[in-house]
Structure 1
Amino acid sequence: MADGSMPLREVRRLAWRAITAHRLRSVLTVLGVVVGIGSVIAFATFGASVQAEVVSQFQGTGASEIYVTPGGEDGGPPGEDFTRPAFTTHDVGELRDIEGVQAVVPRGIVPTSSVAFGGQTLARSRMTATTEAAFSETVLVSGRAFRAGADEIVVNEAAATLFERNLTVGSTVTVAFGDRTQNVTVVGIVSGTRGSVTPTFAGGTPRFYLPADPFYRTVVESPTLGVDQRAYPQVTVVATAGETESVKRAVEASLQADSDAAQLLPPDTEIGVRSRSDIVEGVQSVIDRITRFVTGVAVLSLIVGAFGIANIMLVSVTQRTREIGVMKAVGATNREVMALFLAESVTLSGAGALAGIPVGLGVGYAATRYAEVGFTIAVGWIGIAVGIGLVIGVVAGLYPAWRAARVDPIDALRYE
């Protein structure tokens, strides 16, 4: 060092020797960084996995579906009028006549109190009323769609297993509608339906579907025709592949002032017309914000790890005051002393960052298994976490390194 320069390899060797000289202290310091890096990666990985699962489920089916509900604008969530029956049979017919429309699926709620089968009665407060168009061949597991005007019912796979004896095609169930009961025949079991905003991963929720004719009895007077008609709180328009956007614009135009819905809803209530892609973008935005927030909280543990590194480095400077004096006495410059202590700090944080990656991925993987979603690695967040860890190592080591560089060699050699 007499020539005023210390090789980088020598700096690394001295730094590693100082770290290994206090193994337990170094390991405990590194653990703080591991926890911080691991937390960031685990939360980011889980968030990315959930987002990928939700998006894939939404995009997997219904790419050409357009959802029409009262309230909500710019693709946002429906407002408080979401359950208001506003779309009349007349509106449904007008939507069906739009060019490029394959089907129009109205959906409503039928109030019930219970459903019974095989001597077992289960409470059930509501069932979904819809039309035959809700069931495409791709969602039918067995049987067929119900027919309008028939005492028939379609159930999803979760509902079929609700009873001790599973429901099958041909089973007869008894549905209680308030003070009256009615027997209906199960004619189909499905994995999902057209027109449902809920993606298929929610298939674990039992669903019962009744034909709107004759079970749905919510009616209003059509402002256009002046007669009572069924009115639905939600309508789904199924567009021809490749024409979703043009059909969406035509639906918006159709539901302006001349439609029954526009006249039945309060003046300040907008009609939400959202395609599947609009919903996907909204879901992605919400999950992304949540992930950033939770991951940002995890970054706080990295800051705690930085304080740990700074504390250990300050202790190290104090303990090695005499060593610093010897180094300066034989020609080490302030810059070289600073480089030595910064190298120790960055080595500790770098080791924590490298160890934190598998820990975070492991925890994230376990969380996705528990939540039963696919595993997606948040590569970007791994890079950010490691980068933050290294920056923290530099920042945490700056002040201790500066203190070490300012040690007076004469005073240091006298230090006991």
Structure 2
Amino acid sequence: MDLGESVGMSLSAIRGHKLRSGLTVLGVVIGITAVITFVTLGGSLQAGLVGDLGGEGASNVNVWSSPTEVSGPPGAGAQPVFTDRDVRELDRQQDVRQVVARGTVRLSTVSDGNDTVALQQATAYGRSYFAPDDLREGRSFRQGADEAVLNPAAAALFEDELRAGDTLTLALEDGREVDVRVVGVLDTSTAQDPFEGFTQGPRVYLPTDPFYERVVTGPTSGDPERVYQTLFVIADGPEQVGGVRERTLTYLAEESDAATLVAPNVEFVAQTNEQLLDQVRDILDTLTAFVTGVAVISLVVGAIGIANIMLVSVTERTREIGIMKAVGARDRDVLGVFLTEAAVLGVVGAAVGTVAGLAVGYAGTVFVDLPFVVPWEWGVVAVVVGVLVGVVSGLYPAWNAARTDPIDALRYE
């Protein structure tokens, strides 16, 4: 018996029990779909982060101070210790293009006319920060002006979606209300710096002057100075970023106001975007491996289903097996028929699951605004796994069928 005959007989048996075969394949479909979906989303998230933190971001050094016992994402436990003098001195360091101070402005609500929504904070930057390519419309804010830039999620908070040129009222934590002019809307709601995390919630961006008002007496100057939790020290290029990072840490430890303001149990952290990407990749790889492992449970369920239906099929077709052997079919021919049937169920499940997984993964990337990365190698793995699941699950039932005595099989009712 050749392969074509085995495939034909297997398809005929599957068509004869469409519902049962379909439910059996469903376990494999669910498992493969889950695996492909999680791998697609993981790869797409990594690609999105590389795009956001790479490129020009490859020259960035992210600086904050944090208690030594605190671990977590960038900025975890950050203390406000970097003064305006520190910003100016770091700006003068070798191979430094610019230093951007970053702070948080506490809010209670934001309003567009009578339309008011709750928003706890806005992000303030010490320079214009946003490039023209970052903006869907308008421009970046200017220092010293009552201006704001919104991300699309913030612009869409109101019944009449805000655009560049509209006016927004900020209710500050101290009870004051300030009218600001919306001068730009970003192209995306993804995080604009590593300290924002990876959520896509509504965000308002302001200039530090005049909105950021956290002030201390400068240890060196003796004058009131703004004090910031985090800084971006931007090198002239990726090649200089390592040296800039080392010089930044040296200055902070030996000459800065921050060294005086920092608490005894707090240390300075200077992290390049490449270091951050390595950490994020490790986290995403671990998370993807975990959820993929969970999804593999569905494949195990699918394998059990295939083994079950093949055992039932062997029992139902006992007389057919006896007739096949009576007309000259060898044990390996019978084994091949049932193994082929199990493999077909696995291949169909893998193919449908791969397509469904790519579709769900694509929908997920569109929903969270990420680039769609197709895991071609996982598509091949899915098909191979589907075949293996089918073959391994059908091996014992097929072997059991091949061992059937033809005389007993012909007598079977």
1:209 aligns with 2:203: no
CA contact (8 A) 2:131 2:140 kept: no
Query: Secondary structure of the equivalent of 2:54?
Result: helix
Match of 2:320 in 1: 323
CA contact (8 A) 2:164 2:185 kept: no
Query: Secondary structure of the equivalent of 2:216?
Result: strand
CA contact (8 A) 1:112 1:125 kept: yes
Give the C-alpha shift of residue 128 in structure 1: 3.5
Equivalent of 1:347, from 344, 358, 362?
344
Query: Secondary structure of the equivalent of 1:347?
Result: helix
Match of 1:46 in 2: 41
> Distance in 1 between the 2:269 and 2:398 partners?
61
Match of 1:410 in 2: 407
> Distance in 2 between the 1:303 and 1:165 partners?
49
> Distance in 2 between the 1:389 and 1:49 partners?
24
Q: From the superposition, tell whether residues 343 and 151 of structure 1 become closer, same or farther in structure 2 (CA, over 3 Å).
A: closer
Match of 1:56 in 2: 51
Equivalent of 1:229, from 209, 225, 229?
225
Equivalent of 2:94, from 78, 81, 99?
99
CA contact (8 A) 1:153 1:187 kept: yes
Give the C-alpha shift of residue 208 in structure 1: 3.8
Give the C-alpha shift of residue 233 in structure 1: 0.2
Q: Which runs of 5+ in 2 are unaligned?
A: none
1:295 aligns with 2:289: no
Query: Secondary structure of the equivalent of 1:397?
Result: helix
Equivalent of 1:219, from 215, 220, 239?
215
1:384 aligns with 2:378: no
Give the C-alpha shift of residue 130 in structure 1: 3.3
> Distance in 1 between the 2:279 and 2:337 partners?
50
Equivalent of 2:236, from 240, 255, 265?
240
Q: From the superposition, tell whether residues 319 and 142 of structure 1 become closer, same or farther in structure 2 (CA, over 3 Å).
A: closer
Q: From the superposition, tell whether residues 72 and 413 of structure 1 become closer, same or farther in structure 2 (CA, over 3 Å).
A: farther
Give the C-alpha shift of residue 115 in structure 1: 5.1
> Distance in 1 between the 2:132 and 2:20 partners?
65
Equivalent of 1:78, from 64, 74, 78?
74
Equivalent of 2:266, from 264, 269, 272?
269
CA contact (8 A) 1:146 1:188 kept: no
Q: From the superposition, tell whether residues 337 and 166 of structure 1 become closer, same or farther in structure 2 (CA, over 3 Å).
A: closer
Letter paired with 1:233 = Q
Match of 1:361 in 2: 358
Moved more, 108-117 or 274-283: 108-117
Give the C-alpha shift of residue 221 in structure 1: 4.5
Match of 2:121 in 1: 126
- Superposed, 1:104-115 pairs within 5 Å as 104-114=99-109
Letter paired with 1:78 = P
Match of 1:152 in 2: 146
> Distance in 1 between the 2:55 and 2:410 partners?
73
CA contact (8 A) 1:155 1:189 kept: yes
CA contact (8 A) 2:128 2:207 kept: no
Q: How many residues align?
A: 405
Query: Secondary structure of the equivalent of 1:382?
Result: helix
Give the C-alpha shift of residue 187 in structure 1: 8.1
> Distance in 2 between the 1:165 and 1:71 partners?
38
Query: Secondary structure of the equivalent of 1:368?
Result: helix
Match of 2:32 in 1: 37
Give the C-alpha shift of residue 290 in structure 1: 2.6
Query: Secondary structure of the equivalent of 1:134?
Result: coil
Q: Deviations over 1:52-100 (max 9, x none)?
A: 3333233355332221112389x96236422x20112232222111111
| Identity level (%) | 42
Structural RMSD (CA): 3.6
1:255 aligns with 2:252: yes
TM-score by length of 1: 0.81
CA contact (8 A) 1:161 1:167 kept: no
Q: From the superposition, tell whether residues 292 and 216 of structure 1 become closer, same or farther in structure 2 (CA, over 3 Å).
A: same
- Superposed, 1:162-173 pairs within 5 Å as 164=160, 166=162, 168-169=164-165
1:401 aligns with 2:398: yes
CA contact (8 A) 1:239 1:247 kept: yes
